Chain A
Amino acid sequence: MDFGTQLLQYLLSGLSTGAIYALIGIGFSIVYHAIGIINFAQGEFVMLGGMVTLFLLQSLHLPLWAAIPLAVLLASLAGLVFERLAIRPLRKAPPLSLVIVTIGGSILIRGLAMVIWGNDTHRLPSFSGDDPITVAGATLLPQHLWIFGITIALIILNKWFFSHTISGKAMRACSYNPRAAGLVGIDVRRMTMFAFMISAAMGALAGIIAAPLTMTSYDVGIMLGLKGFCAAIIGGMSSGLATVVGGLVLGVLESLGAGLISSGYKDAIAFVILLLILLLRPQGLFGRPESERV
């Protein structure tokens, strides 16, 4: 196997992992834009996506095509409840309290998942078989194509929602200036609620499309959430293409790092990048300087 094919294989693996990071990262930035907080519980919605789908498949014997949308719906309802119970009472609280309350929320959701579904690891069935596809010597699974396809579709949908629908535009208005948005008649609280629901749904879908490859258990949310956050930071917390590129860059770097340098320090790559970006370019890899976060 020549080096070129190896590189292609690293690249393909990295891109598929990166696509998942990107979806989670967009979830982070949607909430960040809505009320300016980082939702540490974002990763738990990723876990919920996988685990709820599994539950619907195994306990209620639903077909896959029905279980997936239902699971996404349930996860976004969980996002709604979370916003109502934990975030809304603290709207005026300092960032410290919000960080702590979202951490508390993530522990609570994870704990409930463990109590309900146990601590075993499970695998979702692949959407369309497990026969590898060869691309110029490197191999992919059909599930990888699903991941790429759904990620692209979601990004386009996301873009369209925020640029061309009334609700999307209203949400953007809230992120620029909530008070002004309120004055022109936008229900800011409802928009915050929407933001949580959308980001929870995005996270859940990421969890579902990844689970046939990566397996799922009650505690997958922690690491995925953190990596998604790194993606969002690389992308400068934008809810658009920059975060997607951030996720892909992270995924590819990890895959190259594991293949060419050392697997042990692979996870460190993400966090070293996170620190460097936060310290050197807090506006993200692609953004224009902006002084607010420093």
Chain B
Amino acid sequence: MKTLLMIGCSVCLLVCSSTLALAAGTIKIGALFSVTGPPAFLGEPERNTAKMVVDGINRAGGIRGQKVELIAYDTVGDPTKAVQMATRLIKDDHVVAIIGPSTTGETMAVIPVVERAHVPLISCAAGSKITDPVKHYVFKTAQNDGLAVAKIYDYLQRHRQQRVAILTVSDGFGASGREQLKALAPRYGIRLVVDDTYGPKDTDMTSQLTRIRASQAQALIVWGTNPGPAVIARNARQLGFRLPIYMSHGVSSKKFIALAGSAAEGLKLPSGKVIVADALPKKDPQKNALLAFVKGYQHQYRQEGDHFGGHAWDAVMLLKGAIERGGATPAAIRDALERTRNFHGIGGTFNYSAADHAGLTKDAFIMVEVRNRGWVIAN
């Protein structure tokens, strides 16, 4: 037993000393992404993007002449692991700021750790409770789910669809969406006639759809991430569903179209602007950042960049801006972050303030429609 502990200690000391030796002259940024595990669809593009952006910064000479070192750990979508890795970033790697984690649950678990250690955190998760109420050291780049809901409701209101059925997945993403869908409905004069859920591993949703079809609903809103919504789209097609179907921003990637096939045609959803970057008008302030991100990602990973990766792009770029303006200490970064104004990123135009650490409005989203196996801007 004792020998085991001794071995453990010496390994640990070695690790510590080696990381300390590297520290001189670089700015260390920590990253927590669930590269594997159930939320890997978020964590993998986020990690890839963060790496790509940091490499880009270093090639361009770093921030104020200092190189940036990105230390990324995988959290497997597990809050316990996220807490351990956050502690590691703070205590062992002495990072000046952390980006991530990918999910709301992990972020909520990590918040007490960073607040205690006074290290700024820029979360890439969407849950609005991350920054509401405002925590001193916690910021976020992913658009609040409420903004996506507002965008859909706005659209429904304009198209005079008032009786709505919602079908949400019973995981963190769906639960948060459902909460917002229910909370915002009265403000837009919308009545939820069916409020149903499905499990993240469910393989047949015809039962729920049959019930919805028999109801008074004029539109269906589906809130989930792949593969559930694709199954629903196909089930709806099988049933000859005539209601317009709206999806969430959780499926705004080519992957969804590939899974749903022709059943995806005509579906509408709110999305970050990244998937329609080319089609945006020239005067759109985000256009430059969007094109740079899309091209860079395509070049480096031979894949489409999606808006999940965009959250990491924004987080790194916001940090870069804050360090340029304030300096590379945790306290200075926090203060400079809070003063960020008009930063045109991938997720939208960010304006942080002491009362708002989420920084976006519903203009961050755009309604898109699936047409010919691609995305077009819906009007």
> Which chain A residues have a beta carbon within 8 Å of chain B's beta carbons?
1, 3, 6, 9-10, 13-14, 16-17, 114, 119-123, 130, 132, 134, 139-141, 210, 213-215, 217, 220, 223, 255-256, 258-260, 263-264, 266-267
Contacts and interface: CB of A to CB of B under 8 A. Distances in A.
Contacts of A141: 238
Given A10-B207, A13-B206, A215-B227, A132 B199 contact: no
Contacts, number: 95
B196 A139 contact: no
Contact of B226 (A3, A121, A223): A121
Max count, chain A CB within 10 A of own CB: residue among B203, B206, B214, B226 = B206
Contact of A259 (B199, B201, B208, B230): B208
A137 B227 CA distance: 28
Contact of A132 (B207, B211, B238): B238
Contacts of B202: 266
Contacts of B237: 130, 132
Nearest 9 interchain pairs by C-beta: A214-B203, A259-B207, A258-B207, A121-B227, A13-B206, A215-B227, A9-B210, A1-B214, A255-B207
B204 A263 contact: no
Contacts of A140: 238
Interface residues of B, number: 35
Contact of A123 (B196, B198, B259): B259
B308 to A, nearest CB: 14
Given A121-B227, A264-B170, A139 B199 contact: no
Given A1-B214, A9-B239, A263-B198, A217 B206 contact: no
A259 B202 CA distance: 14
Contacts of B263: 130
B201 A223 contact: yes
17 contacts: A3-B214, A9-B207, A13-B210, A120-B41, A121-B227, A123-B259, A132-B240, A140-B238, A213-B231, A214-B203, A215-B259, A259-B207, A259-B211, A263-B196, A263-B197, A263-B198, A266-B199
B187 to A, nearest CB: 26
Given A1-B213, A259-B210, A264-B170, A210 B203 contact: yes
B189 interface: no
A214 B238 contact: no
Dominant SS among interface residues on chain B:
helix
Contacts of A264: 170, 197, 199
Nearest to B226: A121
B204 A213 contact: yes
Contacts of A9: 206-207, 210, 239
Nearest to B170: A264
Dominant SS among interface residues on chain A:
helix
B255 interface: yes
Nearest to B255: A120
B218 interface: no
B204 A17 contact: yes
Contact of B208 (A139, A214, A263): A263
A214 B237 CA distance: 14
Nearest to A260: B211
A256 B211 CA distance: 10
Nearest to A1: B214
Contacts of B258: 123
B334 interface: no
A139 B204 CA distance: 14
B261 interface: yes
Contacts of B198: 258, 263
A139 B240 contact: yes
B239 to A, nearest CB: 5
B203 A215 contact: yes
A214 B206 CA distance: 12
Given A123-B261, A215-B230, A215-B231, A139 B207 contact: no
